[in-house]
A = this chain, B = another copy of it.
């Protein structure tokens, strides 16, 4: 098993400032040891229509919020959003929003943006980055959309789908970029960024 703390000689403990079970699972997959302290940040006052800047701003607010009380930890903030036709698709509020999102995504290519922020307060170090992945959906049938919404899975996911889901797996025809970025965290880029970040500490 990969032990990141060992292979990267990490100098401090890690906190994930996100309550997402998918992010937790992905970071466990690459052998990172960390605590989870979700940051409850209100995103409504972020007036930013550029998807890359939006996810980095939100990731950074989450990380800073938790780092304030944990100054000698490396805090990871993160946020994922779906971008289609110049519009951000966040989590659907109701089932009819999920239906509309799936209908919009059908037969189209959209972008998934994940922003990540790494903060170490004591040394005053902060890094923000984002990763973009293109995702192409095949044409979705009405029956599939209703059946997927009935599973409840779309409701806690940006854009109303999860590529790691039963239905999500068969909706996506092609991706360009990092797969794990679509699930919610860009593992490969993160590995390199935390390596560089740790070297500066």
B178 touches A177 (CB 8 A): no
**A190 proximity list for chain B (CB < 8 A):** 170
**Cβ contact within 8 Å between B169 and A29:** yes
Which residues of A133-172 are within 8 A (CB) of B?
A: 138, 143-144, 147-148, 151, 163, 166-167, 169-172
A31 interface residue (CB < 8 Å to B): yes
Residue-wise, chain A 180-201 has the 8 Å CB interface mask toward B (1 for contact) of 1000000111111000000000
Whether A31 lies near B166 (C-beta < 8 A) is: yes
User: Across the interface, do A169 and B187 meet the contact criterion of CB distance under 8 Å?
Assistant: yes
Residues of A67-90 whose CB lies within 8 A of B: none
State whether B175 touches A179 (Cβ < 8 A).
Answer: yes
Identical copies in the complex: 2
Q: Knowing A1-B151, A147-B7 are in contact, say whether A173-B166 is a contact too (CB < 8 A).
A: no
Give the distance to chain B from A190, nearest Cβ to Cβ, in Å: 8
Indicate whether A12 reaches chain B with its CB closer than 8 angstroms. no
Tell me the bound Cα distance from A47 to B173 in angstroms. 31
CB-based contact A191/B177 at 8 Å: no
Enumerate chain B residues within 8 angstroms of A188, measured Cβ to Cβ.
138, 169-173
Query: Would you list 12 pairs from A and B whose C-beta atoms are within 8 A, ordered by A residue?
Result: A2-B151, A29-B166, A31-B166, A138-B188, A170-B188, A170-B190, A172-B178, A172-B188, A174-B176, A175-B177, A175-B178, A176-B176
Chain A residues packing against B (C-beta within 8 Å): 1-2, 7, 26, 29-31, 138, 143-144, 147-148, 151, 163, 166-167, 169-180, 187-192
